[in-house]
Amino acid sequence: PMSWVKFNAVYDKPFWRGKVLGSQFLCLDRRVEAFDISPVDESFGEIVGFLLPDFSDRQSGDMAAYAKRFLEEVYGPGAGEPRSFAIQDWNAEPRVGGCVSSLKPGLLTRIGPALSDPVGPIHFAGTERSSAWVNYMEGAVQSGQSVAGRVLGELAPSNRQQVVPA
């Protein structure tokens, strides 16, 4: 299965805020998805996006130009000329296997519960262990908070065994 190509565009400011209707765009016919991930203080602007590499411009190999045209159309004049731009075709990386997730379809459904179980005193957290937003930063944060809560619960004085001096 083909997976997404990821791109990041960085700007001096998130100039599109207040001018476009939302911060997330999914364009099914163009097969592009983009998110405004600029910091709250607006110290700079950043858009992260994903595109499926089966679009017509792939034949020319100019995925960056395709992504920048999309940014310009959606976020307005100037969005196609970020101060910094990076694009990565994870399909071309033999040891990665793609993005957003390199996991095969159905894998989390089959073995997901095992990812949540601690091994002795070791607890695991990560986006693949999240109950929501799997493969996204939000999922990693949710998973970390959940595991931290469990660990704190286990460390609570009421859960500790009493050590009686010999």
pLDDT in tens, 68-78: 988 998 898 99
**Global pTM exceeds 0.75:** no
Of 84, 99, 83, which Cα lies nearest the Cα of 33? 99
pLDDT > 70? residue 82: yes
Q: Which residues pair with 45 in a beta bridge?
A: 11
pLDDT in tens, 105-126: 666 677 766 777 888 888 888 8
Residue 132's Cα: distance from chain center in Å?
12
Handedness of CA 155, 156, 159, 162 (dihedral sign): positive
